[in-house]
Amino acid sequence: MGNPRPRPQLLPEKLLAIREFLKIGQDDMANQLRVVLSHSGRQYQILPARISEYENGQREPNLLVLNAYARLGKLHMESVADDDLIIDTFRKRLGKEFDYSTLSRPKRPTQEKTNKPVTLISETR
């Protein structure tokens, strides 16, 4: 088989920092992640034991779960995944980079109903 893909070395510590920022336990973190994922229409079962495995570096969350972590920490996902952002700077950014609660699905443009007459222009040659 080939070489394993590179893994962010600081990811476990950053995931723990997000949970500590939220001041919640692993049970509550699993619940919060499920809530975030369900808002996007995904039903995803995350057990508290999985949170421990993420924080200890035994497992790496998939992109959907990683994105949910970023949303809970009000961070850009890049900040969570990028090892160039050291943990001290990461902790300072928690809760300050992005507010996902302001996101909403784009509304479809509505056709304005007007009673204005339509003028057709025709060319004459």
Q: Give the residue, 47 or 41, on which the prediction is more confident.
A: 47
- Is the entire prediction scored with pTM above 0.85? no
Domains of the chain by residue range: 11-102
| Residue 86 burial (10 A CB sphere; 0-12, 13-18, 19+) | exposed
Q: Which pLDDT does position 123 carry in this prediction?
A: 64
Q: Which pLDDT does position 116 carry in this prediction?
A: 61
CA distance 17 to 55: 9
Residues 63, 46, 94: CA angle, nearest 5 degrees:
55
Q: What is the pLDDT of residues 55-71, one digit of tens each?
A: 999 999 999 999 999 99
Ramachandran category for residue 23: left, alpha or beta (phi over 0 → left; psi -120 to 50 → alpha): left
Q: Which pLDDT does position 57 carry in this prediction?
A: 94
Q: Give helix 63-72 / helix 26-39 axis angle, nearest 10°.
A: 110
Q: What is the pLDDT of residues 64-93, one digit of tens each?
A: 999 999 999 999 999 999 999 999 999 999
Task: For the domain covering 11-102, report its CATH number.
Answer: 1.10.260.40
Q: Name the token pair of 54.
A: 């993420």
Ramachandran category for residue 57: left, alpha or beta (phi over 0 → left; psi -120 to 50 → alpha): left
Q: Name the token pair of 22.
A: 């939220």
